[in-house]
DNA sequence: ATTTTGTTTTTGATTAGTCAAAATATATAT
DNA sequence: ATATATATTTTGACTAATCAAAAACAAAAT
């Protein structure tokens, strides 16, 4: 029943409610920006979604998924991330190119195909960017990680996730050995200059802005 | 630029112009039936396609693809048939279930992904139903085959194609060993009764209506 | 307590694709 | 040659999703 547009609104509400919201309410403006539509369109659509029981709309405050809306959104996200994993692991595409592909395929793939893809990939827990893949039952890992902007300095760390899907950033991260699985150490962090310096396992040093460093999630090497 | 609806109209015009048309003109009614829309919708859409230079519309007579329209339609057909091949050969889906899947995915897959799929599958010439896959350059094999309704009787034959995508018929064909690659002989053909009897390599005999037999294309075993 | 600023909602239009039903043209049969 | 049946086109209406621009509201600043 859910159209492509409906699936996209729900998906973006889910993603925005993870990142930004404290009270769980996603501001209409943030949603409009994410969907690349004018704000008025978002109001119209959100009211329609609310009518359908998929979201709760607090006028002038924001929007929040209902249980049913979250269920649908998690399904879309699961499809998206499994498709990205397939494109990278099986078709050997570059991880910086798969996002727009998955953006279209996620609305066209059935549960049947998805289950087979999942099995073919060995039921992966994360996609190539380290983003957790919701389970078929709608469970989404909420593990919290430090970032290169917030982690302890000096200690060896493993990159576990890159939370920025722009092709440019992903390409940059790949070229400079900051893809999930890489081992790095933060050697210096200068808040005033907004600069983070990391040393890679190759010995090479690399400087990043705090903003960029915040997109690289890391975990201590055990 | 071509929307999902446009791609579907063009694809169906191509398929119908293969099967039925003598003069190359597809009647509006046939197109409406294939698209499962009312005739008026077809008239409206065909006029829009003609405006876009994708078809030639002969009012009250029918519609025919232009060079550009044929190019687009062949692209859709290539995507459809490569996707079906992937679903059967790689994901091991039943050949009777893949048509509706491909029907949606064919509009969501990029050339990049398609090329990689094609390579993964080893550049197949036909899909699991024996339907020829248009080349990336837009060449479509036009080999003409006899059917179980028209072939010589007595001689051993290889099934090369099943031209009917309904799940029921495909399931029937599979269960009774009439999938592409199978070897059979027509032992009897009774025009009056409209019945064809075939003997399979297993020795089992099977009776088919002439209409059903016409959907099984065969070639002499060399 | 007002004014200003920024966000959200409303209103009126637009586009793509569709249906229902009436009107028209063509082919077929008498 | 005319009536009848069939196919096609036209007309008017509808839905989903969108934009532009005006209006309304809420928060922040004076």
Contact B105 A109 (CB under 8 A): yes
Residue B20 binned pLDDT confidence (cut-offs 50, 70, 90): low
- The enclosing H or E element of B216 equals strand B216-220
In chain A, what are the domains?
4-65 (1.10.10.10), 146-220 (2.30.30.90)
Of B87, B90, B104, the CB nearest to A108: B104
Contact A108 B113 (CB under 8 A): no
* Residue A102: DSSP 8-state: H
Residues in chain A: 222
Q: Residues 126-165, chain A: which have Cβ within 8 Å of B? A: none
Rg (CA), chain B: 19
Q: Which nucleotides of C are covered by protein (CB under 7 A)?
A: 7-12, 16-22, 25-26
pLDDT over 90 at B139, yes or no: yes
Of A101, A107, A113, the CB nearest to B110: A101
Q: How far is CA B104 from the centre of its chain?
A: 16
Asked whether strand C has any atom less than 7 Å from the CB of B1, the reply is no
pLDDT for res A5: 98
pTM reported for the whole predicted model:
0.94
The DSSP result for B5-66, as a single string, is HHHHHHHHHHHHHHHT-SSSPBPHHHHHHHHTS-HHHHHHHHHHHHHTTSEEEETTTEEEE-
Q: Is B102 exposed, middle or buried (0-12, 13-18, 19+ CB in 10 A)?
A: buried
pLDDT for res B22: 67
| Vertex A68: Cα angle to A63 and A70 (nearest 5) | 60
Question: B110 to chain A: which residues are within 8 Å by CB?
Answer: 101, 104
Residue B14 binned pLDDT confidence (cut-offs 50, 70, 90): very high
Which residue has the least CA–C1' distance to nucleotide D26? Answer: A60
pLDDT for res B18: 84
Neighbouring C-beta atoms of residue A182, cutoff 10 Å: 20
Asked whether strand C has any atom less than 7 Å from the CB of B54, the reply is no
Lowest mean pLDDT among A12-26, A153-167, B173-187: A12-26
Percent of chain B with pLDDT over 90: 94
pLDDT tens figures, B97-127: 999 999 999 999 999 999 999 999 999 999 9
pLDDT over 70 at A81, yes or no: yes
Footprint of strand D on the protein (CB under 7 A): A 3-6, 35-41, 44-45, 48, 60; B 27-30, 32, 39-40, 42-44, 46-47, 57, 59-62
pLDDT tens figures, A178-205: 999 999 999 999 999 999 999 998 999 9
Query: Do A108 and B107 touch, CB atoms closer than 8 A?
Result: yes
Percent of chain A with pLDDT over 90: 94
Question: A112 to chain B: which residues are within 8 Å by CB?
Answer: 93, 97, 101
Interval A75-98 mean pLDDT: 98
Residue A6 CA and nucleotide D23 C1' are separated, in Å, by: 27
Interval B138-158 mean pLDDT: 95
Distance CA B65, CA B57 (A): 9
Contact A112 B120 (CB under 8 A): no
Give the ranges where chain A is alpha helix by DSSP (H). Answer: 4-19, 28-35, 39-51, 67-89, 98-105, 111-120, 167-175, 210-213
């Amino acid at each position: 029943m859910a159209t492509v547009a409906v699936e996209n609104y729900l998906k973006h509400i889910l993603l925005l409610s993870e990142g930004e919201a404290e009270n769980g309410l996603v501001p209409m403006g943030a949603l409009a920006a994410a969907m690349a539509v004018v704000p008025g369109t978002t109001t119209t659509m959100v009211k329609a979604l609310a009518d359908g029981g998929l979201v709760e709309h607090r006028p002038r405050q924001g929007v929040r998924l209902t249980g049913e809306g979250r269920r649908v959104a998690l399904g879309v996200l699961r499809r998206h991330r499994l498709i990205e994993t397939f494109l990278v692991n099986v078709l050997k595409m570059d991880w910086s190119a798969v996002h727009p592909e998955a953006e279209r395929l996620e609305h066209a793939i059935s549960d049947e195909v998805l289950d087979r893809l999942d099995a073919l990939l060995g039921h992966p827990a994360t996609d190539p960017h380290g983003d957790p893949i919701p389970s078929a039952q709608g469970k989404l890992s909420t593990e919290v990680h430090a970032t290169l902007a917030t982690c302890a300095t000096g200690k060896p760390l493993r990159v576990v996730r890159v939370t920025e899907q722009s092709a440019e950033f992903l390409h940059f991260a790949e070229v400079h050995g900051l893809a999930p699985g890489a081992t790095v150490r933060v050697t210096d962090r200068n808040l005033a200059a907004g600069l983070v310096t990391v040393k890679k396992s190759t010995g090479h040093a690399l400087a990043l802005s705090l903003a960029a460093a915040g997109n690289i999630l890391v975990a201590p090497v055990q």
